[in-house]
Amino acid sequence: MMTRTEADATLFGAETAWQRFSVPFEFPVVFTEHLFDPANPAFVEALRRREPAKRHRALILVDEGAAAVAPGLVEQVEGYFAAHAGSLALVAPPEIVAGGERIKTELTHLEHMQDRIHELRIDRHSYVVAIGGGAVLDAAGLAAATAHRGVRHVRVPTTVLSQNDSGVGVKNAVNLKGVKNYVGTFAPPWAVLNDYAFIRALPARERRAGIAEAVKVALIRDGDFFRWLEANADRLATFEESAEREMIRRCAALHMKQIGTGGDPFEMGSARPLDYGHWSAHKLEALTRHRLRHGEAVAIGVALDARYSVLAGLLPEGEEARVATLLEHLGFDIFHPALERRDASGASLLLAGLDEFREHLGGELTITLLSALGVGVEVNEMDGAKVAASIDWLRARTGR
Ligand SMILES: NC(=O)c1ccc[n+]([C@@H]2O[C@H](COP(=O)([O-])OP(=O)(O)OC[C@H]3O[C@@H](n4cnc5c(N)ncnc54)[C@H](O)[C@@H]3O)[C@@H](O)[C@H]2O)c1
Ligand SMILES: [Zn+2]
Q: Is the CB of 141 under 6 A from ligand 1?
A: no
Measure the CA–CA gap between 112 and 128, rounded to whole angstroms.
13
Q: Is the CB of 164 under 6 A from ligand 1?
A: no
Q: Which residue has the higher pLDDT, 3 or 100?
A: 100
The atom of ligand 1 lying closest to the CA of 65 is: 37
Q: Read off the pLDDT band of 2 (50, 70, 90).
A: low
Q: Is the CB of 212 under 6 A from ligand 1?
A: no
By residue count, the chain amounts to 400
Distances (CA, A) of 194 to 159, 168, 245: 9, 10, 11
Which residues have a Cβ under 8 Å from the Cβ of 177 and sit 6 or more positions away? none
pLDDT at 161: 97
Give which of 163, 166, 135, 122 is closest to 64, Cα–Cα: 135
Cα(132) to centroid(ligand 1), Å: 7
Q: Write out pLDDT tens, residues 33-59.
A: 999 999 999 999 999 999 999 999 999
Task: Give the residue whose CA is nearest to atom 44 of ligand 1.
Answer: 166
Measure the CA–CA gap between 207 and 215, rounded to whole angstroms.
14
Q: Is the CB of 201 under 6 A from ligand 1?
A: yes
CB 120 within 8 A of CB 92: yes
Query: Looking at residues 181-199, what average pLDDT do you find?
Result: 97
Query: Looking at residues 243-249, what average pLDDT do you find?
Result: 98
pLDDT at 9: 66
Percent of the chain with pLDDT over 70: 97
Question: Could you write out the DSSP letters of every residue in 63-98?
Answer: EHHHHHH-TTHHHHHHHHHHHTTTTEEESSS-EEE-
Measure the CA–CA gap between 85 and 83, rounded to whole angstroms.
6
Query: Looking at residues 71-83, what average pLDDT do you find?
Result: 97
Tell me if the domain spanning 29-200 has CATH number 3.40.50.1970.
Answer: yes
Query: Looking at residues 259-286, what average pLDDT do you find?
Result: 92
Q: Read off the pLDDT band of 180 (50, 70, 90).
A: confident
Give which of 94, 100, 105, 166 is closest to 130, Cα–Cα: 94
- Domain borders along the chain are 29-200, 207-397
Q: Is the CB of 134 under 6 A from ligand 1?
A: yes
Q: Which ligand is nearest to the CA of 141?
A: 1
Give 240-248 contacts, CB < 8 A, sequence gap 24+: 241/200, 244/160, 244/199, 244/207, 245/196, 247/164, 247/211, 247/214, 248/31, 248/160, 248/163, 248/164, 248/194, 248/196, 248/199, 248/210, 248/214
Best mutation site among 76, 166, 168 for ligand 1 pocket (most ligand atoms within 8 Å of CB): 166
Q: Write out pLDDT tens, residues 212-229.
A: 999 999 999 999 999 999
269 pLDDT more than 90: no
Query: Looking at residues 100-116, what average pLDDT do you find?
Result: 96
Q: Give a three-class secondary structure readout of 94-162.
A: CEEECCCCHHHHCCHHHHHHHHHHHHCCCCCCCEEEEEECHHHHHHHHHHHHHHHHCCEEEEEECCHHH
Cα(245) to centroid(ligand 1), Å: 18
18 pLDDT more than 80: yes
The atom of ligand 1 lying closest to the CA of 135 is: 19
Q: Is the CB of 165 under 6 A from ligand 1?
A: yes
pLDDT at 328: 98
Q: Is the CB of 209 under 6 A from ligand 1?
A: yes
Q: Read off the pLDDT band of 1 (50, 70, 90).
A: low
Distance of CA 213 to the CA centre of its chain: 9
∠ CA 105-128-259, rounded to 5°: 75
Percent of the chain with pLDDT over 90: 88
pLDDT at 14: 85
Query: Looking at residues 105-112, what average pLDDT do you find?
Result: 96
The pTM assigned to this predicted structure is 0.94
Q: Is the CB of 64 under 6 A from ligand 1?
A: yes
Cα(297) to centroid(ligand 2), Å: 9
CB 27 within 8 A of CB 187: no
Query: Looking at residues 245-252, what average pLDDT do you find?
Result: 98
pLDDT at 361: 76
Query: Looking at residues 167-184, what average pLDDT do you find?
Result: 93
Span of 270-274, 315-319, 341-345 with lowest mean pLDDT: 270-274
Q: Which residues pair with 172 in a beta bridge?
A: 185
Q: Which residue has the higher pLDDT, 178 or 245?
A: 245
Best mutation site among 162, 282, 283, 332 for ligand 1 pocket (most ligand atoms within 8 Å of CB): 162
pLDDT at 360: 77
Give which of 89, 86, 206, 187 is closest to 140, Cα–Cα: 187
Measure the CA–CA gap between 392 and 400, rounded to whole angstroms.
9
Query: Looking at residues 14-40, what average pLDDT do you find?
Result: 96
362 pLDDT more than 90: no
pLDDT at 3: 67
CATH class for the domain made up of 207-397: mainly alpha
5 pLDDT more than 80: no
Which residues have a Cβ under 8 Å from the Cβ of 158 and sit 6 or more positions away? 63, 65, 66, 131, 132, 133, 195, 198, 199, 202
